[in-house]
Amino acid sequence: MVLLSGPEPQRTLLEEKLLDELTDFSGKIVFVQGKIQSEQKSTSIINASNTIQKVNFMQSEELEHHLKQSKLILCRSGYTTVMDLAKLGKKAFFIPTPGQYEQEYLAERLDALQIVPFSSQNEFNLKALDRVEDYKGLSVFSESIDWSSLFNEAF
């Protein structure tokens, strides 16, 4: 699944890059463009190796359904997205929005911890997705957190 978001022109630049790179991906791709419009529109792009279902936006329940069904989420590394995917215990690949330093930090940090790989928007290519198999994924955060020990430290 591809989740696009972010300010223009970066959202459109990433969309164009991903549509080009994912042409040779083998499998089904749900591509949520992140364009809020008056009505939902869906189109299919059928390639030799895959089918890409492009949707301009999804409502919460439909988005949740597709997120749960997807083996891999390719998206920005915004804090809310990271938390949502952690709650769902998903495997992901991050492409931070250029110039969004908090997204770049989160992507670099989760990559360094071998949790989620990332690539810059300009350097992303299909081969980069091979790295996902070597990472733990965000399911590492689905374990119980001992909040009492976290907050019992004396300052």
pLDDT digits (tens, 9 = 90+) for 35-57: 988 999 999 998 888 899 999 99
Bridge partners (DSSP) of residue 29 are 52
> Could you read off the pLDDT of 98-154 as tens digits, one per residue?
999 999 999 999 999 999 999 999 999 999 999 999 999 998 776 555 556 545 655
Look at strands 50-55 and 27-32 and give their pairing: parallel
Give the three-class secondary structure for 11.
helix
Show Cβ contacts of residue 13 under 8 Å, excluding neighbours closer than 6 positions. 121
Q: Which pLDDT score, from 0 to 100, does residue 66 have? A: 95
Looking at the DSSP bridge assignments, the partners of residue 32 are 3, 55
Average pLDDT over residues 75-84: 94
The DSSP line for 54-69 is EES---HHHHHHHHHH
N-terminal to C-terminal alpha carbon distance within the chain: 43
Mean of the per-residue pLDDT values of the chain: 90
Residue 94's DSSP bridge partners are: 75, 118
Give the predicted TM-score (pTM) of the model: 0.88
CATH of the domain at 27: 3.40.50.2000
Residue 117 preceded by cis peptide, ω within 30: no
- pLDDT attached to residue 120: 97
Task: Quote the pLDDT of residue 2.
Answer: 98
The total of structural domains in the chain comes to 1
The tokens of 6 are what?
A: 């972010």
What are the C-alpha distances in Å from 83 to residues 18, 19, 79, 122, 141? Answer: 23, 26, 6, 25, 9
State which residues form the domain around 79.
Answer: 2-151
